[in-house]
A = this chain, B = another copy of it.
Amino acid sequence: MKKIQVGVVGATGYAGAEICRLILGHPEAELAAVSSVSFQGMALSEVYPAYYQICDMVCEDQETVVEKSDVIFAALPHGLSQELAAQCMEKGKVFIDMGADFRLESEELYTQWYGGSFQDQELHRQAVYGLPELFREKIKGRKLIANPGCYTTAVPLALAPALKAGLIQPEGIIADCKSGVTGAGRKPTQSNHYPELNEGFTAYKVANHRHTPEIEQTLSALAGQVVPVTFVPHLLPINRGILATCYARLAPQATEEAIWEAYHAMYDGEFFVRLLPKGQCANVKNVRFANYCDVSLFLDQRTGTFIAVSAIDNMVKGAAGQAVQNMNLAFGLDETSGLRLTPPAF
């Protein structure tokens, strides 16, 4: 059978480069073309020497990528995906957007947090939010998929079963998240300059990060009511990984048994969610380079607080891996195809 032809627009950014790595190991898909505004005409392996002699494909322009591919992954700055998506829809291609343009259902929220507008309402109605563990049935066979952000994968997966089962209160949720540096992208900045970041640790965009409305949208859909979240991201001096430490007040009827039952019911059949045994805590170390989301649960009975800690690789389950998972769903493949990677032990 002919392999799915994959195109990556923005292949020299971190998310794009990671998609390429995953597709290189995918049994049913192969790279057809890649593009990059900054590095057009250069080989991907000139930008990332790790790929030397493995993927020396030369960066072409966006149009060529669309032409050659069955599925286009777009890792573009916010606001630039809508036009490309429209082109892909016209040509019957599958479009998986790594950016935020199609994630929010509410144009008002999109305008408030990102400053742009919905250029084509119909296009936005076609889009589906690609968090397979929560919205799998809606994703299957779809052409336009908004791949979630990294925090917006880690936080909902930590809280979904408890929230859906009504075991925690929808008000007062706090998500204290810590991310590796690749989340900020490939472009050098003062704050990601090695000597500034190394041996340091701080919070950023406190209660003001763009992933806030996206997290709330998913949690509200699960709870069936508005769920406000206090979201504080921090920057870890490591390359990969997000740890989301989520706090919620226990609902009056919540018992420890009921909570574990809800999580087992929802996650025991999920290949990529690993519910850790009681007492163990999720660690970003254990999911690096792979598509797992580890989830661990704690109860602070003294204060009536439920604590769920989840870990993902921000570049895999938080970006490229989830995108490939969505591609698999869109094309009717085994959802785990190309993603059965073992995280290294060290």
Chain A residues at the B interface, C-beta cutoff of 8 Å: 14, 17-18, 21, 24-25, 48-55, 172, 174, 176, 178, 180-182, 186-190, 192-204, 206-207, 228-230, 232, 234, 236-241, 243, 245, 247, 249, 274, 276, 280-289, 294, 298-300, 302-303, 305, 307, 309, 311, 315, 340-346
Contact = CB atoms under 8 A, between A and B. Distances in A.
Nearest to A24: B342
A298 B305 CA distance: 22
Contacts of A181: 194-195, 198
Contacts of A50: 285-288, 342-345
Contact of A176 (B245, B274, B311): B245
Nearest to A340: B25
B285 A199 contact: yes
Contacts of A21: 342, 344-345
Contacts of A286: 49-50, 52, 200
Contacts of A24: 342
A241 B245 CA distance: 19
A283 B238 contact: no
13 contacts: A21-B342, A49-B280, A50-B286, A52-B276, A176-B176, A193-B194, A196-B285, A200-B284, A200-B286, A202-B243, A207-B299, A207-B302, A234-B245
Given A49-B280, A49-B283, A232-B245, A238 B239 contact: no
Contact of A230 (B51, B189, B198, B305): B305
Contacts of A344: 18, 21, 50, 289
Contacts of A298: 206-207
Given A196-B346, A198-B237, 10 more contacts: A48-B345, A50-B285, A50-B287, A52-B276, A174-B174, A178-B178, A188-B190, A192-B193, A200-B238, A201-B241
Nearest to A301: B207
A169 to B, nearest CB: 11
B193 A300 contact: no
A200 B206 CA distance: 23
Contacts of A51: 342-343, 345
A193 B186 contact: yes
Given A21-B342, A240-B199, A283-B202, A303 B228 contact: yes
A207 B300 contact: yes
Most chain B C-beta atoms within 10 Å of own C-beta, residue among A181, A195, A247, A288: A195
A281 B207 CA distance: 12
Given A207-B302, A245-B176, A345-B18, A192 B202 contact: no
Contacts of A247: 174, 176, 230, 247
A19 to B, nearest CB: 11
Cβ-closest 4 pairs across A and B:
A200-B285, A207-B300, A202-B283, A188-B188
Contacts of A48: 345-346
B172 A203 contact: no
